[in-house]
Amino acid sequence: MNTEAKAHGLDGSLVAPDWPPLTLDEVRSLLRQFPAVAAPTAILSVSPRPFSAASVIQTQESRVFIKRHHRSVRDKEGLLEEHRFLAHLHAHGAPVPRVLANSSAQTAIELAEWTYEVHQVPAGIDLYQDALSWTPFQSVPHAHSAGQALARLHQASQSFAAPPRQPRPLVAGFTVFAAQDPAAAIGLYLSARPALGSDTVTRAACAHALELLAPFHAELQPLLPSLPSLWTHNDLHASNLFWSTTSPNAHATAIIDFGLADRTNAVHDIAHAIERNIVEWLALTQDSAHESVPIHLDHLHAFLAGYQSIRPLSREEAAALAPMAALCHAEFALTEAHYFLAVLHSPEKALLATEGYLVAHARWFHSPRGQALLNALRTWASTRPHPSHGAHPA
């Protein structure tokens, strides 16, 4: 295979990675700590995801997935926050990969400047392994199955009682617009991340975004008390699912990549899935015309139907989905900017996150296309069948 590493750039192009790819010698040294894992024989894939280095590794007996993080992004405790959530989901029947432990019963391994994790490769096919976020499902049945998978994850997550994560790069929490006063909350968010708080460009972008997003927060605010707190995935894109076959009728077999997980709520997670899969944001990057951004309403309704078939939303949750779809991107844009400033020391990339993502996406929701998506969600919320007796309470 061609092992020349490429990563997904912010504009959808393939670029040189920020982190060096894993090597076979490196993997061999790491796996000596894992007596249950046979010796590695080949690197089968090099992930194009930009925030870490990751590969599927062939061993003498099976395959494993190894991810390496810089410790400034994920130290041991930061990674264990994710692993405890994965262990809970696995124990409660959710289709997630099992994290493997070394001979000292550790799942997060710190070596020099790096933190490693080793996972079993889940059953199924990595059908969307090269797909970018903000590109659509391949079919309506895929969208329906993805909705079912997310609903099952939320069911398994309900009894996970861990608090929210500590402030770290690349965590998609929900604090700013969960507050009664988003301006005060965003001030606290920036203060907890000095690289962001001291950046005047970021502060200006935040002020602009708060103004653009204020009407959506006003719509969401009275519904906030009815959104139960829940640990969530926060990045359910088709490429973070494994699939049964390559068919358009394939179903999702596993959910992977819990790096952005945090305690938010189910509506926030659903909104992220809509934002990741239903809106082709890369068209906005390439063309300033808001009307050039495709939205896939057939996939939207299939995704929601799939979710509802497993875990019907309450009336308040359904009503909250439209404003949450406009708001959910904000905190991820800020955590990306934090990563670019604090870890990569790249003001240029941080600007793409704040102006090109935080502000431009907020502005798009005021455009006719953005309003069409939100109105489709409002119509769905008001016309969908009500939850049956015994379903999630209304």
Q: What value does the mean pLDDT take over residues 210-233?
A: 98
The residue out of 120, 152, 168 marking a domain boundary is 120
DSSP secondary structure of 106-152? -SSEEETTEEEEEEEPPSSB-TTTTPPTT---SSHHHHHHHHHHHHH
Q: Which of helix, strand or coil describes residue 45?
A: coil
Residue 382 has pLDDT above 80, yes or no: yes
Would you place residue 132 in the very low, low, confident or very high pLDDT band (cuts 50, 70, 90)? confident
Helical pair 200-220 and 329-342, crossing angle rounded to 10 deg: 160
On whether the CB atoms of residues 3 and 278 are closer than 8 A, the answer is no
Residue 127 in any domain: the answer is no
State pLDDT tens for residues 149-185: 999 999 999 999 999 999 999 999 999 999 999 999 9
Distance in angstroms (rounded) separating the CA atoms of residues 42 and 65 = 12
Q: Which two tokens stand for residue 28?
A: 């061999």
Residue 141 has pLDDT above 80, yes or no: yes
Residue 290 has pLDDT above 80, yes or no: no
Instruction: Give pLDDT, residue 2.
Output: 39
User: How far is the CA of 247 from the CAs of 127, 159, 198, 292, in angstroms?
Assistant: 10, 34, 50, 29
The residue out of 75, 91, 120 marking a domain boundary is 120
Which residue would you say has higher pLDDT here, 9 or 16? 16
CATH of the domain at 36: 3.30.200.20
Q: Same domain for 292 and 243? A: yes
Residue 148 in any domain: the answer is yes
Instruction: Give pLDDT, residue 379.
Output: 98
State pLDDT tens for residues 83-106: 999 999 999 999 999 999 999 999
Residue 272 has pLDDT above 60, yes or no: yes
- Burial category of 85 from C-beta neighbours within 10 Å (exposed 0-12, middle 13-18, buried 19 and up): buried
Residue 325 in any domain: the answer is yes
Residue 55 in any domain: the answer is yes
Instruction: Give pLDDT, residue 249.
Output: 98
Instruction: Give pLDDT, residue 326.
Output: 98
Q: Same domain for 249 and 360? A: yes
Would you place residue 4 in the very low, low, confident or very high pLDDT band (cuts 50, 70, 90)? low
Would you place residue 291 in the very low, low, confident or very high pLDDT band (cuts 50, 70, 90)? confident
Q: What value does the mean pLDDT take over residues 36-54?
A: 93
Distance in angstroms (rounded) separating the CA atoms of residues 280 and 302 = 17
Helix (H) or strand (E) holding 238, with range, is: none
User: Which has the closest alpha carbon to 74: 343, 394, 280, 314?
Assistant: 343
Instruction: Give pLDDT, residue 62.
Output: 94
Residue 347 has pLDDT above 90, yes or no: yes
Query: pTM for the full model?
Result: 0.93
Residue 184 in any domain: the answer is yes
Residue 218 in any domain: the answer is yes
Residue 386 has pLDDT above 80, yes or no: no
Q: Same domain for 289 and 165? A: yes
Instruction: Give pLDDT, residue 111.
Output: 96
Instruction: Give pLDDT, residue 259.
Output: 95
Residue 330 in any domain: the answer is yes
Residue 208 in any domain: the answer is yes
CATH of the domain at 292: 3.90.1200.10
Instruction: Give pLDDT, residue 286.
Output: 59
Instruction: Give pLDDT, residue 287.
Output: 56
Q: Which of 129-133, 166-170, 338-342 has the lowest mean pLDDT?
A: 129-133
Q: What value does the mean pLDDT take over residues 305-334?
A: 97
According to DSSP, residue 13 is labeled -
- Burial category of 112 from C-beta neighbours within 10 Å (exposed 0-12, middle 13-18, buried 19 and up): exposed
Distance in angstroms (rounded) separating the CA atoms of residues 24 and 108 = 19
Q: What value does the mean pLDDT take over residues 27-34?
A: 96
Average pLDDT, the chain: 93
Q: Same domain for 160 and 275? A: yes
Q: Same domain for 109 and 258? A: no
Instruction: State the virtual CA torsion across 232, 233, 238, 244 in degrees, nearest 10.
Output: -90
Instruction: Give pLDDT, residue 172.
Output: 93
Q: Same domain for 18 and 166? A: no
Distance in angstroms (rounded) separating the CA atoms of residues 127 and 288 = 31
- Could you list the residue range(s) of the whole structural domain that residue 78 is in? 7-120
Instruction: Give pLDDT, residue 195.
Output: 95
> What is the domain count for the chain?
2
